[in-house]
């Protein structure tokens, strides 16, 4: 399977949150995670689909100036690669993260198709 870029940014803007970014072709698909990433099974967190970012943004760490969208401090919380296991557009994405902090099999599940709300959670490894 093809390995692609995975990154989680810690984003201290109006409200502290984390941004999950997964490379799809030449873009980073992105989700804001208000409570942070799940590190163990049975924890399901809201992930709000946000605008895609350029691939170069995977390396961004710094300040977004006041007055600009997303103003505040952005740091790389975790980075590595992921392998896409299954993809059902706008429904479900299953992938294996190989980061420095997170590792394992994860799922993004779109539970309200007309909204931007997804669930992000860790799932059992395949046996």
pLDDT tens by residue, 56-66: 999 999 999 99
pLDDT tens, residue by residue, 76-119: 999 999 999 999 988 999 999 999 999 999 999 998 777 899 99
What pLDDT is stored for residue 2 in this prediction? 64
Non-local (6+) Cβ contacts of 49 within 8 A are 29, 30, 31, 110, 116, 117, 118
Locus of tokens 């030449």: 26
User: Among positive and negative, which fits the CA dihedral 94, 97, 102, 103?
Assistant: positive
Cβ 108 vs Cβ 17: under 8 Å: no
pLDDT higher for 93 or 124?
A: 93
């Amino acid at each position: 399977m093809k390995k692609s870029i995975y990154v989680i940014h810690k984003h201290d803007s109006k409200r502290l949150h984390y941004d999950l970014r997964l490379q799809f072709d030449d873009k980073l698909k992105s989700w804001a995670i208000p409570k942070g990433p799940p590190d163990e099974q049975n924890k399901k967190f809201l992930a709000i689909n946000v605008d895609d970012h350029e691939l170069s943004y995977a390396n961004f760490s710094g300040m977004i100036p006041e007055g600009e969208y997303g103003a505040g401090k952005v740091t790389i919380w975790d980075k590595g690669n992921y392998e896409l296991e299954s993809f059902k557009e706008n429904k479900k994405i299953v992938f294996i993260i190989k980061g420095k902090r997170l590792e394992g099999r994860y799922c993004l599940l779109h539970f309200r198709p007309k909204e931007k709300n997804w669930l992000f959670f860790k799932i059992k490894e395949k046996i």
